[in-house]
């Protein structure tokens, strides 16, 4: 290949289905900006929006992973033709829950078959025809979750039509051995960039344009002259401040051109950090994120605020969706405290850890954070310890309570399926959950998915399994020549001491009813108000004695003292002595009073600590 001036060496970066339509792909926007800064012409192509415009609401549902790779299977005929079975009934019989899901969306089972055999192959045809691909020297695909097979379908067609076109894959679906298998199995994929591509992609493009050897590029996976897969180890990006502001223009232009759901609330993806400071110390056993780049790195607070302002200016948007896996605690005061002082009107989604305390939550709220995902996966301290979460039941309850007090929307789940669980762990959890109807319910309640790079998958000595295999729907989405043990990200496992799902039956029913009540006019409540000498608890939960209940004098004070933070009997006794210095309180009497409050369902207790569940009516806590 002769040397080509960078400005004439054009690159396309593509996002294929299934991906949500409420935000652009930050990977595409960031890498496009990096290449443009390096002098290369680069376009993004958010082609998943075109399919979303055609399918409507069901497209969103197909984007959401429910345990089966149905989105991948639907594109399998478009990608592989007769290399995969045309028998749809085999899939439906194997996974009847997907039939039920389709019916819940008012879609007939035949609709899924039409998608697989007619609609999606035609969509790939349109993707080929809609863009002048001959303008490009390189086409890169970002593949995460259920974007792999659709990306392979278009990549195969492009390589057939333009043999000199270089095809590159990147993203979470091709990290580590998964990328190696992609290159081995599909000869139309020229390169995979394993890991963070901020430095490796511009270097690859520079060398391709200059017709230079490609050896030594970090994270590059390709074939040698003998067709063998060769790879360089990935290197994480250290200086996040040096990255440019992502370029999202094409996403918004395409969306407007398609007139795609103009009433949908759009969010601008924003990146403050990579890696996980908690996982670096104590890797949560089920988490497969940051598989090869766990080390925590973050942008400086001024740089982050500058990017927020620039994106808001460019796109006239005030809603931001953070891609960070965990909040940098510096950001509480130095970002969100600053935004609160500036009286900025931004709104943010952020993943946090449930140890974020009440005052930190207040600062986050005042700084614009409105949606949080606090990593609450259980209300059993013993199971949380098995997960290596570094928190307890009472920590999680406290977090839910104060998040509700300030008005956050909270995304959390209940998980089970961890080695070492006992049935009594979940009976204890159930008894806690039945007290929390006035707080936001979990979004999901299910057995944990086993992710590649999670300790449950990687550490077979520590977590021996009776059975572990790739999630079975992968077998319907890919041809037989693909080694799914190397390509799959999700797995199923049965560990020693396996508990059957029936153990969780009443918890599942409780959560189902809780979610229904939460979105109805009969939402449960539990609040308290106080006077100078009494506390009044307003009980509005199902299965509890509704009405206003009075706690006079010291009993009311005891409730208030345990409402901010969990307290031991000893601390609660000292607090009563300070409030009522003329009265002596024995610890056993205080413990008896706290036990009575727990029996009423107004408190929870754990490991000698007591915590009030009612939400203060006063807004100055």
**Domain harbouring 333, CATH code:** 3.30.750.210
- At residue 50, the 3 state secondary structure works out as helix
Could you give the number of structural domains in the chain?
A: 3
Residues 165 and 271 in one domain: no
Q: Tell me the CATH number at 562.
A: 1.10.10.10
- Of the three residues 373, 396, 424, the one that is the final residue of a domain is 373
- Of the three residues 373, 401, 424, the one that is the final residue of a domain is 373
Residues 609 and 558 in one domain: yes
Residues 57 and 174 in one domain: yes
- Of the three residues 373, 401, 430, the one that is the final residue of a domain is 373
Phi, psi (degrees; rounded to nearest 5) at 414: -110, 130
Residues 210 and 287 in one domain: no
The pLDDT assigned to 472 comes to 96
Please name the helix (run of DSSP H) or strand (run of DSSP E) that holds residue 313, with its range, or none: helix 301-315
Q: Is residue 24 part of a domain?
A: yes
Q: Is residue 252 part of a domain?
A: no
Q: Is residue 380 part of a domain?
A: no
β-bridge mates for residue 447, sequence order: 416
| Mean pLDDT, each 10-residue run in order, the chain (621 residues) | 74 97 97 97 98 93 85 97 97 90 83 96 98 98 97 98 98 97 98 97 97 97 96 96 98 97 93 95 91 89 98 97 97 98 98 96 98 97 97 98 98 95 97 98 94 94 91 97 97 88 96 97 96 96 95 96 97 93 90 97 97 97 94
Determine the structural domain holding residue 536 and report its residue range.
525-616
C-alpha–C-alpha distance, residues 605 and 432, integer Å = 10
CA dihedral sign of residues 485, 324, 24, 231: negative
Q: Is residue 100 part of a domain?
A: no
Residues 165 and 28 in one domain: yes
The pLDDT assigned to 93 comes to 95
Residues 137 and 213 in one domain: yes
Distance, C-alpha 186 to centroid of its chain: 29
Residues 229 and 271 in one domain: no
- Residue 304's closest CA among 279, 332, 267, 263? 332
232 neighbors 219 (Cβ within 8 angstroms)? yes
The pLDDT assigned to 497 comes to 80
Could you give the residue ranges of the DSSP H alpha helices within 332-422? 338-341, 358-366, 381-387, 393-406
Omega of the bond leading into 115 within 30 degrees of 0 (cis): no
Residues 299 and 150 in one domain: no
- Residue 537's closest CA among 508, 511, 558, 520? 558
Q: For Cα atoms 147, 444, 468, give the angle at the middle one, nearest 5 degrees.
A: 65
Residues 175 and 33 in one domain: yes
Q: Is residue 92 part of a domain?
A: no
386 neighbors 419 (Cβ within 8 angstroms)? yes
Q: Tell me the CATH number at 167.
A: 3.40.50.280
Q: Is residue 56 part of a domain?
A: yes
Q: Is residue 555 part of a domain?
A: yes
Residues 224 and 139 in one domain: yes
- Residue 552's closest CA among 532, 581, 577, 582? 532
Residues 213 and 323 in one domain: no
Q: Is residue 419 part of a domain?
A: no
Report field, pTM of the whole predicted structure over 0.85: yes
The pLDDT assigned to 2 comes to 54
- Residue 405's closest CA among 512, 562, 517, 528? 528
DSSP, residue by residue, 280-295: HHS--TT--TTSS--S
Q: Which residues, 6 or more positions from 610, have their beta carbon under 8 angstroms from its beta carbon?
A: 562, 566, 567, 568, 569, 572, 594, 597, 598, 603, 604
Residues 33 and 173 in one domain: yes
The pLDDT assigned to 36 comes to 97
């Amino acid at each position: 290949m002769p040397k080509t001036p960078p400005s004439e060496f054009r690159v396309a970066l593509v996002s294929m289905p299934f991906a949500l339509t409420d935000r652009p792909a930050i990977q595409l926007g960031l890498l496009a900006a990096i290449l443009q800064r390096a002098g290369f012409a680069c376009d993004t192509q958010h082609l998943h929006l075109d399919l979303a415009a055609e399918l409507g609401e069901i497209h969103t549902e197909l984007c959401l992973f429910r345990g089966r790779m149905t989105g991948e299977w639907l594109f399998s005929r478009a990608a592989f033709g007769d290399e995969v079975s045309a028998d749809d009934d085999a899939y439906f019989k194997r996974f009847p829950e997907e039939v039920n899901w389709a019916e819940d969306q008012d879609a007939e089972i035949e609709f899924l078959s039409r998608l697989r055999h007619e609609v999606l192959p035609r969509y790939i045809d349109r993707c080929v025809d809609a863009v002048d691909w001959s303008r490009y020297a390189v086409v890169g695909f970002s593949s995460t979750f259920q974007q792999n097979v659709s990306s392979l379908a278009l990549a195969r067609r492009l390589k057939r039509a333009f043999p000199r076109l270089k095809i590159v894959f990147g993203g979470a679906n091709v990290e580590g051995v998964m990328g190696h298998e992609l290159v081995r199995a599909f000869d139309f994929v020229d390169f995979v960039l394993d890991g963070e591509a901020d430095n490796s992609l511009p270097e690859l493009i520079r060398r391709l344009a200059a017709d230079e050897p490609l050896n030594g590029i970090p994270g590059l996976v390709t074939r040698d002259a003998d067709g063998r897969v060769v790879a360089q180890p990935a290197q994480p990006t250290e200086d996040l401040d040096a990255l440019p502001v992502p370029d999202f223009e094409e996403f918004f232009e395409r969306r407007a051109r398609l007139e795609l759901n103009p009433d949908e609330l759009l969010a601008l993806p924003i990146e403050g950090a990579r890696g996980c400071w908690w996982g670096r110390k104590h890797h949560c056993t089920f988490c497969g994120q940051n598989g090869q780049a766990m080390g925590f790195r973050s942008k400086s607070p001024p740089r982050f605020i500058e990017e927020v302002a620039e994106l808001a200016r460019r796109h006239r948007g005030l809603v931001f969706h953070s891609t960070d896996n965990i909040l940098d605690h510096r950001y509480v005061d130095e970002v969100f405290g600053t935004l609160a002082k500036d009286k900025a009107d931004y709104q943010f989604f952020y993943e946090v850890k449930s140890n974020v305390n009440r005052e930190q939550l207040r600062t986050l709220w005042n700084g614009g954070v409105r949606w949080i995902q606090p990593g609450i996966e259980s209300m059993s301290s013993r199971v949380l310890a098995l997960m290596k979460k570094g928190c307890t039941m009472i920590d999680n309850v406290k977090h839910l309570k104060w998040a509700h007090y300030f008005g956050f929307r909270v995304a959390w789940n209940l998980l089970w399926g961890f080695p070492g669980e006992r049935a009594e762990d979940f009976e204890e959890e159930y008894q806690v959950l039945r007290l929390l109807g006035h707080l936001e319910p979990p979004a999901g309640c299910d057995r944990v998915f086993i992710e590649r790079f999670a300790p449950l998958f990687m550490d077979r000595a520590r977590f021996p399994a009776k059975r572990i295999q790739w999630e079975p729907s992968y077998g319907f989405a890919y041809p037989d020549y693909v080694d799914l043990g190397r390509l799959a990200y999700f797995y199923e496992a049965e560990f020693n001491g396996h508990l059957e799902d029936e153990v969780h039956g009443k918890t599942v029913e409780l959560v189902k009813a809780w979610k229904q009540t939460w979105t109805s006019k009969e939402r449960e409540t539990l609040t308290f108000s106080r006077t100078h000498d009494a506390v009044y608890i307003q009980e509005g939960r199902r299965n509890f004695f509704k009405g206003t209940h009075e706690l006079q004098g010291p009993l009311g004070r005891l409730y208030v003292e345990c409402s901010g933070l969990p307290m031991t009997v000893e601390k609660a006794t000292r607090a009563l002595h300070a409030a009522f210095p003329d009265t002596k309180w024995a610890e056993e009497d205080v413990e008896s009073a706290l036990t009575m409050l727990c029996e009423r369902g107004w408190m929870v207790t754990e490991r000698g600590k007591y915590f009030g569940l009612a939400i203060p009516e006063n807004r100055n806590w």
